[in-house]
Structure 1
């Protein structure tokens, strides 16, 4: 047994989680897909300057890169991207269609050195996302966003293999998920209009598709009479269409069956989990139709992921690890998924619904000697907050196999306010948590009102209350862990990125619980955000704050920059110089109004840091900042 050392003080423990481990060697996996017994995924490699590549696992287990080294798969549609590729088997060999992050346009690669441009290399103002191969092998369906003068214009398009582009639908502010039926006879998609967001009100459409002329028939609106978020259309092989809707109070699966020229939809029996994710990025999947009306789904129950199986009219939990999206099928009866457990690095897995599982690629290998005692696991907390409401959080205690708290010592606390604000604190293993807990900090990751995974009512509790309800919940969470004597009340700090940055600064202005705070590319001036942000979020604030400029007084009152004089603790600002979502000017204006502030700019970074050097520097800079603050107390 390792003998524990009771020094140094918590917050200064030597850690196995170095900045190079977090930023330099950790692969990122996303958007796993299958075709036959091939497995494909998007892999981002920090050691290649953050390049994203499509990797395939052949049926014999050999891994191969399917996109060339000079290309990086990605898209900036809606700025957040996603869904920048699709793959199919052509005579048993994979064929990938993808958007290149740097050059734009659509490209096709067969993974064997053959690369050709499909469309748009010389049309840089056009961006493409949510790519889906046409089952008729005529080309690819996708969402197109055209930039130029004025507001970007969205459309649903088809690009054939000769590079001819055909517009199928336009006029809505936003489109997503063009999904052809397996026989190519129908196309489903969803759309929405400002000022709605895809998690508030959307429209689900289906239309017949003429294969010979590649034209759509009259679209049928499947959304129903109640305004709701209905997203993620996905077809079963027998032509049944599924989607997930929150009309019943939380995202739940719907089944649509065609009868002649009409479609009849009904909810599946209720289940004690939310099945659906807010559409911040393209390519998310939480539903998998199986044969005979069965279904596999990714659910969220009290903030934690679970896998659910629907058969013979009933739901049951199945043991399939901790997927980030619904597992995808292989022809041998197994499934593949990206596993994101609470106590292990993300990995790619193959297994079945009985619990058998094999991991064949990990995002990183832990250093020798690291044990489970070095990993902090989340403890779900619920606590009362303002007006008799209840909020939720994940609490992570310090963790080390070599160091422990001294007698009567309480650890410093890092409070995390997630972005979105329609996001959530995710219990999956993350170095952003272990970076702190391995050094003797405790972490409180707050699922404040407005977070995903607790149903529509909880999500809507932030409507017109952003900057109030989220702040109340963060403060209530801190008071709860202090009352339970889990942390040192004199060494609490709060950090948040993007929308979470606003929560951080508001919490600092309206309480004395924190010794310091850090805002990473965070919002400081809501009026400026309403005037400057990109199209996808241009009207997001209508629901969170009010209409602008009609409710300018509310925008002014909720903006942290208005209350800068109330912040009397040190604040660290970290921001990208190329941020198009929350411009650098927001951090610059706020930092100049504070007596104790530090601003560091990463000139080439956008909204979120990708470059290895930037990620490493941000981690070390923030840690040193807190340690200096504690030394001065």
Structure 2
């Protein structure tokens, strides 16, 4: 029986604890012989990430029990944290980064006696210490090759990055000099090495400030000597305005690279001898994405000239590309979004995929039969899927007639409806990055609101990836303008067409989305309230050593050179416009956040005191940039729902009341 109740007050079986328990997704998949391994989040275990090993018989075990936490802090956003190889005897050899000390460890999980993890790299008392990512095991040399991030002082920018070889015998565990550096540190940023099939060459990516990797990178190539040294390093692709997002070796010794030289990240074959390249599948689609973490893999070569590729415009698909004919055949299945992690073994392809009705799961494709199936982290409906939202893919018209891509999730419940004369409240979600994209997948956080009668609009505003470089470049020097205008345009269009209540519009976001939320509250007057999570609030502080090294020059493209447009930095910062905040808000901040430090949020709250605007400021010990712990996520969702209930005048029974100050 369907009951009538006001929007926002519908009872729902999707509570905050359920949403928190399903937060995160499997990532960093790999094949180890006939086994598939991946990293999986554990929100209930203080947010640790564990390694899962799927055996050929389908059983799953973790080779690393708690408290081991397989997660690198490389560039603060992390990167590929593990590698393993099968051996004829003794089982696999595993190396991994543990989050607690950021040391590289080695483990022989099939040898319980003496096979437990032991450190391979030393601790460093300097700054952020030593951090490792994107490892490649080289047992024949007795080494593991990776990318090393080494802090040389206490400042966030006092850091160098090189390719390095770590001995597997543990001799470097207490001796930094035993780590063999493979490259110099002339480039500020590098990814891990990719070795040619014959082991005689290595390729990797490099870039320097002020560029971000989606703005311009260089594809580096070097010869590998018999004793494992790199010589003759040269640049063979890329530049200041060409982003090479990934490089791999094909079995014939040619290089495969995803570059956006055409305006789209397309897959190219590169002759390492001549430097000549061929676009293997010219399309106005993306075959790669923004390199926020080293070790992202959008494509992987198979045999006989076939390549597994993740591609699409907006939504993504897994396809098999024939590099000789250019024919691209997509895998069948319900999945509409593939994460940037692929691995291959023989004719098998393994990835992580989701859809609007399923959360992310580990999927295996047999290229011989064309059969794809979920093999790990399988989606299981924790509640009746009738409570899941039913999203709409929409394109709206923004200022100057520009298109704006968005996913609209109207309120939806199988057993409740609203009075006929009532319009629903809506919350605009601004994604982080800002060079990123909101995927169209089942998210129980969204369902938490829609099943209660609150609509959600995810906006892939100008600057988002997935729609080509021109769309991405809309945000150049216009951050805080285009993103805000696009979010406003979507909200106003929903109100104009009668899909949303203009008086009950909210906005929320984290990180760069937190910036967009705060910037909207100080500049538009449209939103009644907002949820701001671990945000950027003061551009001047952020650009002057107030964040980590990776993004320390990001604002030069998003805002403009500080020396040339200092007033723009001040005028766009929500901190310096706190007197213009037009709606209530809750500010959520991790106290261990190195990317958007809590000091900015604290200063913003101080500036709001006594201004008559209702607000709350919640901080979380042990949380960094993005929340990982179940108890944190539960408290944050409760606070957000209570804010909307109080602002929109709706009931929220059973939800702790958020205390608002003014």
2:133 — aligned with what?
A: 129
Offset at residue 603 of structure 1 (A): 2.4
1:382-531 pair list within 5 angstroms: 382-531=395-544
Q: Shift of residue 474 of structure 1?
A: 0.6
SS for the counterpart of 1:345 is strand
Query: 2:229, 2:350 → 1: CA distance?
Result: 35
**Superposition pairs for residues 91-130 of structure 1, below 5 Å?**
91=88, 93-112=91-110, 113=112, 114-123=115-124, 125-130=129-134
Q: Is the 8 A contact 2:73 2:102 kept in 1?
A: no
Task: Go from structure 1 to structure 2 and tell me whether the alpha carbon gap of 1:54 and 1:326 turns closer, same or farther (over 3 Å shift).
Answer: closer
Is the partner of 1:254 in helix, strand or coil? strand
Return the offset for 1:253: 0.7
1:66-465 equivalences under 5 Å are: 66-91=63-88, 93-112=91-110, 113=112, 114-123=115-124, 125-134=129-138, 136=140, 138-149=142-153, 150=155, 151-162=158-169, 163=172, 164-169=178-183, 170-211=185-226, 213-224=227-238, 227-259=241-273, 262-301=274-313, 303-311=314-322, 312-320=325-333, 321-322=335-336, 323-325=338-340, 327-331=342-346, 333-352=347-366, 356-362=371-377, 365-368=380-383, 370-371=384-385, 373-465=386-478
With over 3 angstroms needed to count, the CA separation of the structure-2 counterparts of 1:618 and 1:273, relative to structure 1, is same
* C-alpha displacement of 1:135: 7.0
How big is each residue's C-alpha offset from its partner over 1:232-283, in whole Å with a ceiling of 9 and x where there is no partner? 1112233221110011101111112344xx4432221312421111111122
Decide whether the 8 Å contact of 1:199 with 1:229 is kept in 2.
yes
Further displaced range: 524-533 or 22-31: 22-31
Q: Which of 566, 573, 595 lines up with 1:552 in the alignment?
A: 566
From the superposition, tell whether residues 175 and 387 of structure 1 become closer, same or farther in structure 2 (CA, over 3 Å). Answer: same
1:271/1:315 contact within 8 Å kept = no
CA distance in 2, matches of 1:415, 1:54: 35
Query: How has the CA–CA distance of structure 1 residues 349 and 318 changed in structure 2, closer, same or farther, with 3 Å as cutoff?
Result: closer
- Give CA-to-partner distance per residue, 1:135-161, whole Å, 9 cap, x none: 745322211111241411111111122
* Corresponding residue for residue 55 of structure 1: 52
Q: Secondary structure at the match of 1:44?
A: strand
* Unaligned segments of structure 2, at least 5 residues: 173-177, 652-662
Secondary structure at the residue paired with 2:37?
Answer: strand
In structure 2, distance between residues paired with 1:487 and 1:34: 47
Please say if residues 297 and 340 of structure 2, whose CA atoms lie closer than 8 Å, have aligned partners that are also in contact: yes
Whether the 8 Å CA contact 2:593–2:623 is kept in 1: the answer is yes
Q: Distance in 2 between matches of 1:88 and 1:137?
A: 14
Q: Which residue pairs with 2:649 in the alignment?
A: 631
Query: Aligned-pair distance for 1:296?
Result: 1.8
Moved over 4 A (4+): none
Find the partner of 2:26 among 12, 29, 34: 29
C-alpha contact (below 8 Å) 1:578/1:606 kept by paired residues = yes
Equivalent residue number for residue 654 of structure 2: none
Would the alpha carbon gap of residues 598 and 527 (structure 1) be closer, same or farther in structure 2, given more than 3 Å must change? same
The answer to whether the 8 A contact 1:273-1:300 is kept is yes
C-alpha contact (below 8 Å) 1:104/1:126 kept by paired residues: yes
Please, which of 603, 606, 609 is the counterpart of residue 589 of structure 1?
603
**Offset of residue 348 of structure 1:** 2.0
Instruction: Give me the whole-angstrom Cα distance separating, in 2, the residues matched to 1:570 and 1:60.
Output: 54
- C-alpha separation between the residues in 2 aligned to 1:361 and 1:293? 28
When the two structures are aligned, how many residues end up with a matched partner? Answer: 623
Equivalents in 2 of 1:272, 1:435: separation in Å?
35
Q: d(CA) in 1 for partners of 2:393 and 2:192?
A: 33
- Distance in 1, matches of 2:81 and 2:239, equals 33
- Decide which moves more: 444-453 or 156-165: 156-165
1:496 Cα shift?
Answer: 0.9
Are 2:549 and 1:574 equivalent residues in the alignment? no
Task: Provide Cα deviations, 1:341-374, integer angstroms capped at 9, x if missing partner.
Answer: 1111222223335663332333664335x03x31
Q: Bigger shift: 459-468 or 238-247?
A: 238-247
CA contact (8 A) 1:379 1:396 kept: yes
Moved more, 217-226 or 184-193: 217-226
- In the alignment, the residues of structure 2 paired with residue 632 and residue 430 of structure 1 have an alpha-carbon distance, to the nearest angstrom, of 23
- Distance in 2 separating the partners of 1:217 and 1:103: 32
274-283 or 20-29, larger mean C-alpha shift: 20-29
Deviation at 1:337, TM superposition (A): 2.1
Distance in 1 of aligned mates of 2:432 and 2:460: 10
**Deviation of the 1:481 alpha carbon:** 1.4
The residue number in structure 2 matching 1:608 is 626
CA distance in 1, matches of 2:475, 2:40: 34
What RMSD, in angstroms, separates the aligned Cα atoms of the two structures?
2.0
Kept after mapping to 2: 8 A contact 1:134/1:184: no
Structure 1 Cα separation of the partners of residues 201 and 267 of structure 2? 20
- Residues 27, 364 of structure 1: 8 Å contact kept: no
Q: Quote how far apart the aligned CAs of 1:632 are.
A: 8.4
> Residue 292 of structure 1 aligns to a residue in which SS?
coil
Contact 1:129 1:282 in 2 (8 A): yes
CA apart distance, 1:225: 6.5
Cα deviation, 1:454-503, whole Å, max 9, x if unaligned, reads 10111111000001111111111111211221111111100011111111
Pair 1:6 & 2:21 matched: no
Q: Shift in Å at residue 435 of structure 1?
A: 1.6
Q: Is the Cα contact below 8 Å between 1:25 and 1:364 reproduced in 2?
A: no
Which 5+ residue runs of structure 1 have no aligned equivalent? none
Structure 1 window deviating more from structure 2 (111-120 vs 72-81): it is 111-120
Query: Per-residue CA shift, 1:578-629, capped at 9, x if unaligned?
Result: 1111111211121222332211111221111112211111111111111011
2: CA distance, partners of 1:367 / 1:54 = 23
Q: CA deviation at 1:328?
A: 3.0
Give 1:26 shift. Answer: 5.2
Query: TM-score scaled to structure 2, two decimals?
Result: 0.90
How far 1:222 moved relative to its partner? 1.4
Q: Deviations over 1:399-457 (max 9, x none)?
A: 21221233233211010111111011111211221121111111110111100001011
